[in-house]
Structure 1
Amino acid sequence: MAVEKSGDAMVDFAVMWEPFGGAPPEDVFVKFGVPLAEYKRRLLTRLSSADRAELMGPALRARLIEYCVHATGTTRQNPYL
């Protein structure tokens, strides 16, 4: 399965791990130096950007957003979500 590259390391990492339910916290920390909750907050910010909306299919983007929202407790107030 080919992984589409967005040009953003955090988004690309999330896409790579999405079929497995997300990356383990240890891998997130080693790759980005932040705890899993912070990684998900940052990832959600990136996915919420209007210019990122067209970088991946809507179904994949929706799954990644759900992954972020579920863990952070963030509400969907952004019109691009």
Structure 2
Amino acid sequence: MTDHRTEAAPKKASRRIPPLVWIVLALLVGWLVVALMQRQGSDRTPQGGAHPAQAEGTSIMPAAPAQGDAPATPAGTVNGPAQPPAQ
């Protein structure tokens, strides 16, 4: 008896990337683009123009009484990350 098996070419292993990976990758790229646009230091006007971002105003922190083991906090001004240094 003769064996007439046809040898098929071996299939190349395909690496399919699941759609969820592409979605997560697109979200990360979009988030990075938005983050880079926001740190440019300018604000967009409704008309499409740009002007320099203004520094934040001084914040006043109210005094807090001591509670339990936590000490009392005195009142005073607080500088945020975009505020000029206290004088």
TM-score with structure 1 setting the length: 0.22
The structure showing larger relative contact order (alpha-carbon pairs under 8 Å, at least 6 residues apart) is 1
TM-score, normalization by structure 2: 0.21
Structure in which a larger fraction of residues adopt helix? 1
Larger radius of gyration: 2
Q: Larger strand proportion, structure 1 or 2?
A: 2
